Structure 1
Amino acid sequence: MEQQRIVTWVAMLCCCCLGTLATTEKRTEQQLRELPCPNVADIAPCVCTVLPDYGMEMDCSSVTSSNELALVFSAEIPFLDFESLTILNNEAITSLRAGDLGDATFRIITIMGGSLETVVMNTFMSSYHTLTDLTITGTKLSFFPFGEIESFTQLRYMNFENNDITGFPTMASASLRELLLGFNSIGGISLTSLTNLPSLVAIGLHSAEISQILPGTFSGLPMLQEIHLEMNSITQLPAGAIELQTLSNLVHLNANLLEYIAEGALIGLHGEVFVQNNQLHELAEGVFKPLVDQGDNSISLHAEYNPLACGCEIAWLVVNSQYLRHLMDDPTCSDGEEVKNLDPSIFNFCP
């Protein structure tokens, strides 16, 4: 009887030990799943997610104030190098201040929607040498320390579309490749606006209340390939307005009020040119013939929805089927007839 009791106690002890071991292993596994993220309770309501390569993403969309955001990043954070910070549709934060993000560094910062109005100097200071992508869109942002951009040595992409920014911001960056400022009240671009952005590949200024382009605005940018100026109120392009040096490029001038394009206004274009939805009465030979007469480097022209007169001024295009092939859509004359369907013989008496 005594021997049986001993066996029972030994069995119970073994079960207890195994249970404790299992619980310990379970806790250890849980901790490994959370690492390298901080303790969940310490950073709430922010949420940290571990990526497959053990990078960390921080989502702080649910914070209720800038003070709470600062409290999160003043918590004990064992590993400060984050892949990204995301704040979406947050109506509580109106200002981001220096120190709100502590010493954390980020490669990507995305703030979309919400009531953000101001970003103070040095807010992203800890990310001077890590930040590659900065997006602040669809907010009430009216002030940002653009003079600080030069300090972000790895910055490649800036998307500040659809905010309350007025005027073209003064900035310099040796690394920036893509700058999107559409749907802001930019109003104009000075001759020096892009001078200090030598690595720029794409510029987005669509629906930015721009009414004119000065000669030389886009000159001297050896890597520039893509220009978005659609949905503005530009009425004419002077000689030297757009000059590119790349062998493949896109220029969007559609949905403006363009009535006149001077000879030499479009230089170095070798890709697609969009001039649809304007007020052009002609596709002037002096403007477009040099661009469709470049062999393999000729442009593809999109020119629908312009009130083209289709007199002798368009003969150069119609009588040469090689040139017609560069029309990518179906522009029509003011009477509705498609340019591609015009009989070349009607232009025999043109000078």
Structure 2
Amino acid sequence: MKVFLVLLALLFCGLGAQGIPRNGRAIACPDSFLITPCVCTLNGQQVDMTCAGLTSLKSLTDIFARTFPTNVLHSIVIQSSTLGPLPNDVFNGKSFEIISFLNNRLTSFDNTGILSSSSSTLRSLTVRQDTDDWTFNFANLQGYNLLTSLELSGYSMVLSGTLSSSSLTSVTLRSDFLAALPPLGTLPALTLLNLDGSVIASLAGNSFSSLASLSQLYLGHNKIESLSSGLMSLAASITQVDLSSNLIDTVQPNWITGVSSATSVQLVNNYISVLDQASFEGVIQSLMPSGKLLLDGNPLVCGCEVAWVVTNSAYLTVANDARCVNGTRLTNLDPNYYLQNC
């Protein structure tokens, strides 16, 4: 009996208080006193960490300089901390699948190998930091072939380098310093690009033509004033184009291609006053019969300029939310009046 108890005690010590065996190995959290103020939890066979209130970069690097029961962890959230510019391999050989930096101070990503220990495991990276000026160098993500989700958001964030990835499917970028589209390299798997809520004022022609898998493009709440010819050459997979709440008052012919009856194009809450047939008829025809061109919130002049829409019921089905400057829906206008007077 004594031998059995001794063996049981040795087994318990070998696993640690939170240990779970997996494939003959112990999956365990580090002892809590070694990682304070970070907290480690076991969720099934996943090791997750949260670090809040770190007061210096040294406090973070000291924690990860220690020996952990495993160097392969699932996720880490670092929040409400003051760190400074992060060094290369900030986690000292520990790898994660999900990394989040939330609401930190004076934390910047200027170096190019900051997350290098997670290069073969990282699937999701989120950085949200709305105080202080900070930078993120896209070179940090070179060779991360499992990375599918990226969110970088901050009022004073500055991006450097070119974003290229063979695996990214979702990218969200938001900054009050983001006045132009950041350099986009090869992104063959990208399906969602969210640039909503920045200060983008202009787009270069064919900015999105290389994004062969793109299905959702969000450019709302920016400072775009015009849509020029050849501006948006989109993949046939596109289902959502959101340009709402910009400053758009000029739309030229052939400004968008690639849309289909599976696409919704949102131009809500802009400053478009003339529904120019040369600029919009081709778009509406491409969206027929079940796509949508959303125009509510624009001060449309409803003279003969809209006759081509009002007198075509199929067109009205696509643009059925459009209103005149006086609030009247185009669908409520009398087509006979336009047939007789225009």
Provide TM-score, normalisation by structure 2. 0.87
* Partner residue in 1 for 2:144: 152
Counterpart residue number, 1:257: 247
SS in 2 for 1:160: strand
Contact conserved, 2:138 with 2:160, CA < 8 A, in 1? Answer: no
Q: 1:76 to 1:328 in 2, by over 3 A?
A: farther
Q: Is the 8 A contact 1:309 1:334 kept in 2?
A: yes
Q: Distance in 2 between matches of 1:100 and 1:258?
A: 44
Q: Spell out the pairing of 1:213-228 with structure 2 (5 A cutoff).
A: 213-228=203-218
Q: Give the letter for the 1:72 counterpart.
A: I
Tell me how far 1:295 sits from its aligned partner: 6.9
Q: Which moved more, 1:236-245 or 1:34-43?
A: 34-43
Alpha-carbon RMSD:
2.8
Change (3 A) 1:343 1:108: same
Please point out which of 330, 333, 336 is paired with 1:345.
336
In the TM superposition, residue 327 of structure 1 has moved relative to its aligned partner by 3.1
The alpha-carbon deviation at position 287 of structure 1 amounts to: 3.1
Q: Are the structure 2 counterparts of residues 152 and 136 from structure 1 closer, same or farther at C-alpha, using a change threshold of 3 Å?
A: same
Aligned counterpart, 1:304: 296
2:293 counterpart SS class: strand
> Using the alignment, how far apart are the partners of 2:293 and 2:145 within structure 1?
37
Counterpart for residue 9 of structure 1:
none
- Alignment partner of 2:174: what SS? coil
Seen in structure 2, the aligned counterparts of structure 1 residues 86 and 318 have a Cα distance that, compared at 3 Å, is same
- Secondary structure at the residue paired with 1:269? coil
Amino acid aligned to 1:137 = R
Instruction: Work out the CA distance in 2 between the residues paired with 1:158 and 1:308.
Output: 38
Name the count of aligned residue pairs.
331
Moved more, 113-122 or 67-76: 113-122
Q: Which residue of structure 1 lines up, in the alignment, with residue 56 of structure 2?
A: 65
Bigger shift: residues 150-159 or 79-88: 150-159
Aligned to 1:74: 65
Find out whether 1:201 has 2:191 as its counterpart: yes
Match of 1:285 in 2: 277
- 1:292 positional shift: 3.0
Deviations 1:110-144 (A, max 9, x none): 01112043123322111111111110012435222
Q: What pairs up with 1:78-97 in 2 under 5 angstroms?
A: 78-90=69-81, 92-97=82-87
- Superposed CA deviations along residues 169-214 of structure 1, whole A, max 9, x for unmatched, are 5232222222211233111137xx2232232222222232211122
Counterpart of 1:276 in structure 2 is 268
Cα separation, partners in 2 of 1:131 and 1:167, compared to 1, 3 Å: closer
Question: Match for residue 10 of structure 1?
Answer: none
1:318-329 correspondence runs (5 A): 318-327=310-319, 329=321
Shift of 1:294: 4.1
CA distance in structure 2 between the partners assigned to 1:71 and 1:264 by the alignment: 57
Taking a change above 3 Å as real, the CA distance of residues 143 and 305 of structure 1, as seen in their structure-2 partners, is same
Does residue 128 of structure 1 match 2:119? yes
Counterpart pick for 2:178 among 176, 186, 190: 186
Distance 1:332 1:235, change over 3 A: same
Given residue 290 of structure 1, which amino acid in structure 2 is its aligned partner? Answer: G
Distance 2:159 2:83 in 1: 24
If you compute each CA radius of gyration, which structure gives the higher value, 1 or 2? 1
Q: Which runs of 5+ in 1 are unaligned?
A: 1-13
Change beyond 3 A, Cα 1:42–1:117 = closer
Match for residue 31 of structure 1? Answer: 16
Deviation at 1:259, TM superposition (A): 0.9
Distance in structure 2 (CA, Å) of the matches to 1:148 and 1:95: 13
Deviation of 1:168 (Å): 6.6
Amino acid at match of 1:314: V
- Going from structure 1 to structure 2, the CA distance change for 1:156 and 1:328 (only over 3 Å counts) comes to farther
Q: Which residue number corresponds to residue 176 of structure 1?
A: 168
Identical columns (%): 26
Unpaired segments of 5 or more residues in structure 2? Answer: 20-26
The residue that corresponds to 1:314 in the other structure is: 306
2:102 is equivalent to residue 117 of structure 1: no
The letter for the 1-side match of 2:270 is: N
Change (3 A) 1:298 1:268: farther
Q: Mark the CA change 1:183 to 1:189 in structure 2 (over 3 Å): closer, same or farther.
A: closer
Provide closer, same or farther for how the CA distance between residues 79 and 141 of structure 1 changes in structure 2, counting only shifts above 3 A: farther
Amino acid at match of 1:107: E
Task: Give the deviation of 1:154 after TM superposition.
Answer: 1.5
